[in-house]
Every structure is written in structure tokens, then in C-alpha cells.
Amino acid sequence: MIPESVETRISERSLFEDYAAVAVMKLDSVGALKVDNDCNMQHPEPELAYVLPLIVGAYNEIVEKPTTPIVTRLDDTLYFTMSGYRQFKNRGIRLNRLLQKKLGKRYKTQIVSEGSSHTLVVTYDGEPWDTEQLTALPVMEAAQIHHLDPALLMSLIQHVSNFNFSYRGRKDSRGILSLKEGEGIEQIFIGAERLGKMFQVGVSQENAVATFYPDPEINSKPENWSKSPLTKSWVDQVLSDVEFYHENGLNRFAN
């Protein structure tokens, strides 16, 4: 059960577009790919940006001594350009097959060749990802940074706000994790850091989770959370749903 709150939905899609653009530029910064100077990433489709690491991995798997790929377009279509190959037909066929296997039928891929330059064109034809799906990537990034189980962080977000960035709790708390600080996706990283610090000093999982309960009873003391049936039930639900996210692909990271 999500604690009651006054809610007003904000444009969550734009938050993930901004996050997607930053994620792609991080790939550029580590040399995994190059973003062309003329590539407009004001509105990158997250469903395409999120799978770029997988596409880079498939390209590196198929092509021997791969050149650095260049992203020349990223909005509702991805142009992933691979240059320096006179012959690419057989490799292109294998790359298309591998991507179809990895990405699934909702993604359409084709390769357009011009001289020694070959552009993989990718579109996403499925239903737009919902906020829960879109939240998974920043959750995984935050969990990796702070050595957390991403499934715990996802379950915590689900039971705090049900993935609503406009959630309003008590005592001026708001946002996807009902905190008093941070905006948008930033709260995921703030919450992950807070959890990580508590675990480092030996705070139990139950006690750490309880500190995020967004609707505490009036005059209740945080350390007495286990004496509150509502708070205890909420903590139990958070921990119970961790396994659900494990089963759906959010696995633990090694510390």
C-alpha cells in the first residue's frame, strides 16, 4: 500500500530524456563511441539510448578490430555509424541477426552503406516504456556506485511513491523517494548514497528501509518504527518485493 499523498504528475518523460542524453555522453567520455557534433540530443528516445551499450557490445563482438562508432542521430531514430570498412555485408547480416536476438521484435534494425561508411539504423516500435521501466537504469547506476542491491532500491521507490516524481509526502518531503532534498532522478542517487552510508556503519536492512517511510505518525520517533503496525507492514512489503525485482532482472552487484 502506498501512503496517501497529494499528487500532481509532472512531465516524467523529459526527465528520462535528459538522463539518457547524459548517459550517452558518458559512453562518449570513456571512448565507447563518439557523439557527432551535429547530433541533436534534445529529445533522445530513452528506449534507444538505454540499449546503446548493448549495441556497442554487439558491434564489438561481430567486428574484428572495430573502429569507434559514431552516433549521428538520436531522437526517435538512432543512427549508429561504423566507418573504415570496404566490405561490410556479411558482418552487417550477422550484426542485424545478433541485435534482433538481443533486442527483440519491438526493435527494427537495418544497415545503410555508403562507400566505407555503414550506418546501423535502429527504431523502437513497441509501446513507450512506463516510468518503472525507465527508472531501472538510473537505479542500476546508483546501486553500482554505492554497492547496493538495485532490487532493494527499486522496491523502495515503488513503495514510497509508486514511481511518481510528483509525489508529496508529509513535512515538506516530495519526489520519487519523498526526500527534502534533490529533484527528479537526482533523488535516486541521494537515496542510494544514504542507504550505502547506513549499511557501511552496520545499520540493518530493516532499520535503513524504515527511515524512508514517507508517512510517519505524528510525534512518532524513528527508532520506534517497529512498534507502529503501519510502518512495520510497509517495511515488510518493501523487503518482500525485492525478490520480485530479482526475478525480473535486477540482480545484486558484487561489492
Give tens-digit pLDDT for 133-167: 999 999 999 999 999 999 999 999 999 999 999 99
Q: Among 107, 106, 126, 103, which Cα is nearest to 54's?
A: 103
Q: Considering the domain boundaries, does residue 177 fall inside one?
A: yes
Q: Considering the domain boundaries, does residue 136 fall inside one?
A: yes
Q: Is the separation of the CB atoms in 111 and 92 below 8 Å? A: yes
| Residue-level pLDDT at 220 | 67
Q: Considering the domain boundaries, does residue 8 fall inside one?
A: no
Both 148 and 217 in one domain: the answer is yes
Domain count, the chain: 2
Residue 59 belongs to domain with CATH number = 3.30.980
Domain boundary residue among 71, 97, 124?
Answer: 124
Give tens-digit pLDDT for 11-35: 789 999 999 999 999 999 999 999 9
Both 100 and 158 in one domain: the answer is no
| Residue-level pLDDT at 253 | 53
Both 239 and 138 in one domain: the answer is yes
Taking CA 75 as the corner, what is the angle to CA 73 and CA 81, rounded to the nearest 5 degrees?
Answer: 25
Both 154 and 239 in one domain: the answer is yes
Which residue spans within the chain are E strands per DSSP?
Answer: 34-35, 70-74, 77-83, 107-114, 117-124
What is the domain extent for residue 36?
31-124
Both 80 and 169 in one domain: the answer is no
Q: Considering the domain boundaries, does residue 25 fall inside one?
A: no
Q: What is the DSSP string of 139-194?
A: HHHHHHHTT--HHHHHHHHHHHHSS-TT-B-STT-BTTTTBSS--TTHHHHHHHHH
Both 164 and 135 in one domain: the answer is yes
| Residue-level pLDDT at 38 | 97
Low-confidence ranges of the chain (pLDDT < 70): 1-10, 218-222, 252-255
Q: Among 173, 172, 171, 177, which Cα is nearest to 190's?
A: 177
Both 136 and 87 in one domain: the answer is no
Q: Considering the domain boundaries, does residue 21 fall inside one?
A: no
